[in-house]
Amino acid sequence: MEKRRFGRTEHQSTVAVFGTAAFYEISQSRADEVMEYILSTEINHIDIAPGYGQAEERMGPWLAKERERFFLGCKTQERTKKSAAKELRLSLEILQVYHFDLFQLHAVTSMDELDQVTTKGGALEAILEAKEEGLVQHIGITGHGLEAPKVFLEALSRFDFDSVLFLLDNISI
């Protein structure tokens, strides 16, 4: 499968990334079937988040034994340093891994939310501390909506993110 450098990381991600939102509500046996298929496709990049229902619980057994095969990106919708730090560590525990290749501020959709995550005591501080501890290698930001480009231009003026992902939904052209 074709690979390309992901963001400013040096990782060569497969052009297809497995989004574990598909595991929102799924049995472990069905998740196991899906993961066997994912392994057969050579996909090497997984996107996961605590808000994806059962995804972390279903992926934990797989990542415990297959971690080195994947570039692992996780996210937080928490906005404060304390809550983001707690969630990041809980995700590591549930996923049975020691670090994330990418950890992202998730669903930052407005300037107010950007202010919350980048201010003193905001979630970005928790991610930076986790990076210093070796729990996170790269830092990204995600969002959606028509304001996303404007929000992320401002975000990049505040911090040098390694990746910026956004979806323009509900638009009419």
**Which of 53, 139, 50, 145 has the alpha carbon at shortest distance from 100?**
139
| 31-40 tens-digit pLDDT | 999 999 999 9
Instruction: Tell me whether residue 86 is exposed, middle or buried, using C-beta atoms within 10 angstroms of its C-beta: 0 to 12, 13 to 18, 19 or more.
Output: middle
**Which of 3, 9, 4 has the alpha carbon at shortest distance from 163?**
9
| 40-55 tens-digit pLDDT | 999 999 999 999 999 9
Instruction: Tell me whether residue 68 is exposed, middle or buried, using C-beta atoms within 10 angstroms of its C-beta: 0 to 12, 13 to 18, 19 or more.
Output: exposed
Q: Domains for the chain: give ranges and CATH numbers.
A: 3-167 (3.20.20.100)
User: Facing residues of 144 across strands?
Assistant: 167
| 67-122 tens-digit pLDDT | 999 999 999 999 999 999 999 999 999 999 999 999 999 999 999 999 999 999 99
| 64-75 tens-digit pLDDT | 999 999 999 999
| 136-162 tens-digit pLDDT | 999 999 999 889 999 999 999 999 999
Give me the pLDDT at residue 145, please: 87
For the entire predicted model, the pTM comes to: 0.95
What span, in angstroms and rounded, lies between the C-alpha atoms of 98 and 89? 9
